[in-house]
């Protein structure tokens, strides 16, 4: 049998589980479905979630709790835009925040016109904002972010330390990021995930970013697999995937492997042939 047609068997320490999630419905999605030109509207700047979008988040939250995913995820990575951060904290954050709690809130009350109560940072994984997993950049105001200073007031417990510039220096009003550049940014982001110690990571990001990145990755897979991983994500859709180190770039040593016979010495299998010994 051809090796390419066989299932892959790889050491577990060279694998991570990544839960990829597209944000819930934003106000720009509603307008864009009616007329694609609406994505150019200035009033859609840094689009926030719709009431339906928040219902989608609540449903996703129920799912990640009922299937046990909320207890498995070691880290939540989010694109630094309102709609992704609202989705991330709504799905994976703590319960409602109350004054006097021994923690800071993940999200303050009514952040981003949400009409939602504050969300606690207790009993949930850490949250990290990462610029590299933002949506297709440029031209569309909905994809331009606010200053990090403003976001820190709305999402106090999200870690923004990896973002160098307070203002958005990536988005350009008259230049749309080329699709190959979006895919290259996505591959760089995936490579960066290997530098993280966490083994199970949730990533809350955007449809365009996911589609172009996964289409590029899918070029090295069977057509059926490529179609499965790169099809467009629905709002608030979650897909769990295994990220595999096929290039020996990982330096980890397995924490579960066991060396076997102790003390060391010859322990030959029953079918060993002395003549085969080099």
Q: In this predicted model, what pLDDT tens digit does every residue of 240-264 receive, in sequence order?
A: 999 887 666 555 677 778 777 777 7
Residue 135 falls in the annotated catalytic set: yes
Q: What is the 3-state secondary structure (H, E, C) of the chain?
A: CCHHHCCCCCCHHHEEEEEEEECCCEHHHHHHHHCHHHHHCHHHCCCCECHHHHHHHHHHHHHHHHCCHHHHCCEEEECCCHHHHHHHHHHHCCCECCCCCCCCEEECCCCCCCCCCCEECCCCCCEEECHHHCCCCCCCHHHCCCCHHHHHHHCCCCECCCCCCCCCCCCCCCCCCCHHHHHHHHHHHHHHHCCCCCCEEEEEECHHHHHHHHHHHHCCCCHHHHHHHHCCCCCCCEEEEEEECCCCCCCCCCCCCCCCCCCCCCCCCCCCCHHHCC
Averaged pLDDT for residues 225-230: 88
Residue 135 pLDDT exceeds 70: yes
At residue 230, the pLDDT reads 86
At residue 99, the pLDDT reads 75
Tell me the CATH class for 11-276: alpha beta
Band of residue 273 on the pLDDT scale cut at 50, 70, 90: low
Residue 108 pLDDT exceeds 70: yes
At residue 1, the pLDDT reads 44
Band of residue 132 on the pLDDT scale cut at 50, 70, 90: very high
Tokens of 237: 């859709």
Question: Token match 């995913």: residue?
Answer: 69
- Residue of 19, 131, 132, 135 marked catalytic: 135
Counting every residue written for the chain, the total comes to: 278
At residue 92, the pLDDT reads 98
Sign of CA dihedral 105, 208, 18, 13: negative
At residue 155, the pLDDT reads 98
At residue 266, the pLDDT reads 72
Residue 56, number of CB atoms within 10 A of its CB: 22
Residue 277 falls in the annotated catalytic set: no
* Residue from 179, 173, 87, 67 nearest 127 by CA: 87
At residue 219, the pLDDT reads 87
Averaged pLDDT for residues 118-133: 96
Residue 91 pLDDT exceeds 80: yes
Tokens of 153: 């007031």
At residue 166, the pLDDT reads 98
- The chain-wide mean pLDDT, for the chain, equals 90
Residue 3 pLDDT exceeds 70: no
Residue 278 pLDDT exceeds 50: no
Do residues 209 and 133 make contact, with C-beta atoms less than 8 angstroms apart? yes
What CA–CA distance (Å, rounded) separates 135 from 145?
A: 10
The full set of domain ranges for the chain reads 11-276
Give the tens place of pLDDT for each residue, 162-204.
999 999 999 999 999 999 999 999 999 999 998 899 999 999 9
- Residue of 19, 23, 206, 212 marked catalytic: 23
Do residues 225 and 196 make contact, with C-beta atoms less than 8 angstroms apart? no
At residue 252, the pLDDT reads 67
Dihedral Cα 21, 26, 29, 35, nearest 10 deg: -160
Do residues 48 and 112 make contact, with C-beta atoms less than 8 angstroms apart? yes
Give the tens place of pLDDT for each residue, 23-80.
999 999 999 999 999 999 999 999 999 999 999 999 999 999 999 999 999 999 999 9
Do residues 107 and 52 make contact, with C-beta atoms less than 8 angstroms apart? no
């Amino acid at each position: 049998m051809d090796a390419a047609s066989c299932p892959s068997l790889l050491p577990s320490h060279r694998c991570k589980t990544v839960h990829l999630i597209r944000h819930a419905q934003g106000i720009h999605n509603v307008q864009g479905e009616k007329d694609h030109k609406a994505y150019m509207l200035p009033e859609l700047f840094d689009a926030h979630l719709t009431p339906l979008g928040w219902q989608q988040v609540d449903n996703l939250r129920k799912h990640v709790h009922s299937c046990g995913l909320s207890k498995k995820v070691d880290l939540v990575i989010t694109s630094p835009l309102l709609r992704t951060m609202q989705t991330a904290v709504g799905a994976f954050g703590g319960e409602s925040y109350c004054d006097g709690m021994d923690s800071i809130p993940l999200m303050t009350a009514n952040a981003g016109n949400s009409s939602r109560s504050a969300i606690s940072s207790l009993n949930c994984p850490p949250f990290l904002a990462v610029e590299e997993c933002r949506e297709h950049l440029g031209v569309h105001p909905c994809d331009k972010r606010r200053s990090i200073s403003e976001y820190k007031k709305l999402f106090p417990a999200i870690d923004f330390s990896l973002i160098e510039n307070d203002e958005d220096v990536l988005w350009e009003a008259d230049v749309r990021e080329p699709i190959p550049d979006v895919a290259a940014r996505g591959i760089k982001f995936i490579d960066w995930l290997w530098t993280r110690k966490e083994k199970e990571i949730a990533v809350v990001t955007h449809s365009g970013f996911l589609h172009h990145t996964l289409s590029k990755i899918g070029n090295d897979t069977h057509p059926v697999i490529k179609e499965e991983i790169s099809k467009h994500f629905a709002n608030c859709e979650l897909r769990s995937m295994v990220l595999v180190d096929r290039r020996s770039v990982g330096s980890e040593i397995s924490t579960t492997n066991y060396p076997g016979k102790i003390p060391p010495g010859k322990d030959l299998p029953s079918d060993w042939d002395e003549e085969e010994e080099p």
